[in-house]
Amino acid sequence: MTIQQSIETKLNSGLQPELLEVINESHMHSVPPNSETHFKVTLVSAAFDGKRHVARHQLVYGLLGEEMGGPVHALALHTYSPQEWAQRGAAAPDSPACLGGSKQEAH
């Protein structure tokens, strides 16, 4: 099972999301080809109703402890209740371009 598949399985099982999108963004960073180190997660779940962003992120990190303690270097989380998702027009923000490592612009 890939890291991405593991993330998807654990989040689906633990939060029963209405929407789950896990995107491997490792290729946008200074890592070897085919890496699984940087992910963007968009997650819509009733489990987030009434919870602040920190509590939502803690739920996700609790489910992904193994991944966060090992291969995953960065995890961009976009967590919404179903009502918040509808109010946003069902759209998550784009990830910014990486400027770290060898991708950093010379000044």
Mean pLDDT confidence for 21-36: 82
State how far the Cα of 23 lies from the Cα of 26, in Å rounded to an integer: 9
State how far the Cα of 65 lies from the Cα of 67, in Å rounded to an integer: 6
- pTM, two decimal places: 0.84
> pLDDT over 70 for what percent of the chain?
90
Architecture category of domain 3-28+36-91 in CATH: 2-Layer Sandwich (3.30)
